[in-house]
Structure 1
């Protein structure tokens, strides 16, 4: 993943999380970012989310339900911090 694509994905992720004002399911957030024209693979998308989590920008809330999202996604919700 190029730095420019990662930056574009990061900006789109943060925008959608702020705009939603509630946690978004990982696979749903991915589809929203892709619909903005960000060309990123699922694995690279997860990598951006995890980097944002390490940097303290987002938090992940695991969900223990029976819904199975397609790989590489898991039933996790992401929320903006602050």
Structure 2
């Protein structure tokens, strides 16, 4: 009885090795991109917090000024 085995050529092995290498490179690139996105999100959150603090401080200063000097009509 003859069995039919798929023969593996050196080209197929090379292609499988290339496939594995490409997948590894892709996963590494995706991981790098994920880390960059996380860094950018942290930077964005820090800038948002700074802006919120600035806005809150500016609002408090305006309220203090208006309470102290009132609102005068411009001439």
* Alignment TM-score, normalising by the size of structure 2: 0.27
User: Which protein has greater RCO, CA pairs closer than 8 Å, 6+ apart?
Assistant: 1
Structure whose residues are more often helix by fraction: 2
Structure whose residues are more often strand by fraction: 1
* Alignment TM-score, normalising by the size of structure 1: 0.25
